[in-house]
Amino acid sequence: METGNFHHALKIREDLCIGCSHCMVVCPTEAIRVRNGKSVLFGDRCVDCGECFRVCPVSAIIIDHDDFNHIFDYKYRVALVPAVFTGQFPEDISLRQIHSVMLELGFTHIYEVENGVEILSRAINDYTESHSENKPLISSFCPAIIRLIQVKFPALVDNIIRLKPPLDISAHFLKKELLTLGIPAEEIGIFYVTPCAAKIAAIKDPVGESTSPIAGVINMDFLFNKVYRKVKQQNGQSCAIPVSGKLSGKATCWSLTNGEAGQVGGRCLAIDEIHNVIEFLEKIENEEITDIDFLELRACDESCAGGVLTTSNRFLSVERLRNHADSYHENDEPAHPDAFRKITSESEYLNERISIDPIKPRSILKLDENMAEAMKKMEKVNRIMQLLPMVDCGICGAPTCQSLAQDIAQGEGSIQQCIFIQKIMEQKGEMSLDDSVEVMQSIWGFGKTNKYRDIKGI
């Protein structure tokens, strides 16, 4: 089985997995199979969208992040926090409280990711004006979408805007600021608090960029629990003062649906949730929809507020952030004297580093590199499809009849995995009952097939 060489933040814990196949059914790129009673991930197909993580009933799918104590490897410990983190808390807990608790937990600096929007929003508008040949231009914001386009819509890779998202821009700014203060690079640890798995994968294995200035990643649900507990215990007292300036309304809402599309010139459209995105990209690829200038595409429903690592209800998070944005006035809270400078004071430095390399397609759909071979395999797939029942029951350990047929054509499955074929083969005397049970056990493990031997006791 091909596992691929791509870093994935999503891991399946074999010791916890009960082989229920929920994840296999929802995966939008058909990257999961069940073998020996456990889910198995095809690494080259996975785009780290996290749909599997959402449905796992036993929390066997984990999102691999850095140990929190890893921050203490650095003298200067910067938390790079997206605005949706604030949206996790109830309205009565202030940003000041959240930030002061984070400082108590060990961070020395806190910086909001969306500060980078001030640089990016200008760059995007310049970019869309000078790259009209690749329309519709697609935002590079959501790393799961970039990967989705690479594997499923290879013809559209050139439509992705080759500009860094706010996260990377802010990280470059922070590093520069701290270096300017005379702090040695090895003492700076920038830690990103992530609402999803895809951002982790993007940091550990960047697409279109060779290195990332980010030292580590902390899962948002983990930090939320840590901070919220301390806030509760302190009963509203706060001791430290946050040193960052307030985000503008535009920046606060950037990671929400329509956050980008609402700021870019021309005809813009915002689409969230990965299946909606797939449906729309199909039409874009066929040129059924034309004349769109800019597409904001996000893998999660309600964008980052619906990230798999968020705790709060996504609609409430959106409400809180929109309220923040609406109440923003440029001068209502003077920046602390120790605060970082405005990110725009380094516009030139950041604009020099804002581009990413061309994004390469890596299609998962091709049956073979060689077209003649691919045609042979397709004919085989078509022949197998004639035999399969087309009910997509998943009993074979593959999500659909089509995917089983492709697995067989690729030498990674056998037609006996199909329960319908098994029954017919048994009836015709071509397969023994024992053999058919053995096949079931190779897919679903011993436990699931063995417990039915006690059926008389019911």
By the criterion CB under 8 A, which residues form the site for other proteins? Answer: 154-155, 282-283, 285-288, 361, 363, 365-372, 374-375, 378-379
Q: What b/e sequence results for 413-430 when a residue is b if at least 16 CB atoms lie within 10 Å of its CB, and e otherwise?
A: beebbbbbbbeebeeeee
Pairing mode of beta strands 294-298, 137-138: parallel
Residue whose CB is less far from other proteins, 87 or 208: 208
Helix, strand, or coil (residue 110) = strand
- For other proteins, which is the closer residue by CB, 323 or 370? 370
Closer residue to other proteins, CB minimum distance, 286 or 386: 286
Query: Using CA atoms, how far apart are residues 323 and 204, in angstroms rounded to an integer?
Result: 34
Closest distance to other proteins from the beta carbon of 30 (Å): 13
CB of 25 to other proteins, least distance (A): 21
> At closest approach, how far in Å is the CB of 92 from other proteins?
49
- Least Å distance between CB 370 and other proteins? 8
Helix then strand then coil, in percent of the chain rounded to 5, is 45, 10, 40
Q: How far is the CB of 416 from other proteins (least distance, A)?
A: 24
Nearest residue (CB) to other proteins, 15 versus 287: 287
Closer to other proteins at the Cβ: 240 or 367? 367
**Cα 14 to Cα 66, 262, 412, 450, distances in angstroms:** 20, 43, 20, 19
Question: Which pair of tokens denotes residue 235?
Answer: 């009963």
C-alpha closest to that of 217 among 244, 242, 243, 189: 189
Q: What is the token pair recorded at 219?
A: 């899962």
| Apex 400 CA angle, 394 and 404, nearest 5 | 95
Name the token pair of 146: 């970039």
| Closer by beta carbon to other proteins, 153 or else 224 | 153
Cβ-based nearer residue to other proteins, 17 or 149: 149
- Ramachandran region of residue 235, left (φ > 0), alpha (ψ -120 to 50) or beta? left
Q: How many residues does the chain have?
A: 458
Q: How far apart are CB 325 and other proteins at their closest, in Å?
A: 35
Q: Which helix (DSSP H) or strand (DSSP E) does residue 221 occupy?
A: helix 220-234
We find the least distance from the C-beta atom of residue 154 to other proteins, in angstroms, to be 5
Residue 174 beta carbon to other proteins: minimum distance, rounded to whole angstroms: 38
Complex with other proteins: residue 58 or 155, whichever CB lies closer: 155
Closest CA to 279 of 144, 406, 153: 153
Nearer to other proteins, 180 or 363 (CB): 363
Question: Toward other proteins, which CB reaches closer, 136 or 189?
Answer: 136
The least CB distance from residue 284 to other proteins, in Å, is 11
- To other proteins, the closest distance from the beta carbon of 219 in angstroms equals 35
Q: In Å, how far from its chain's centre is CA 256?
A: 15
CB of 141 to other proteins, least distance (A): 23
CB nearer other proteins, residue 1 or residue 371: 371
User: In angstroms, what is the minimal distance from the CB of 429 to other proteins?
Assistant: 35
CB-nearer residue toward other proteins: 288 or 330 = 288
Tell me the residue type at 94: S
Label the pairing between strands 109-112 and 188-194.
Answer: unpaired
| Cα–Cα nearest to 283, from 156, 141, 148 | 156
- d(CA 114, CA 61) in angstroms, rounded, equals 29
Compute CA distances 435 → 122, 289, 442, whole Å. 65, 52, 11
Give the contacts of 271 (CB within 8 A, at least 6 positions apart): 277, 280, 295, 296, 297, 298
Residue pair 141/163 in contact by the 8 Å Cβ criterion = no
**Closest listed residue to residue 312, CA positions, set 239, 231, 224:** 224
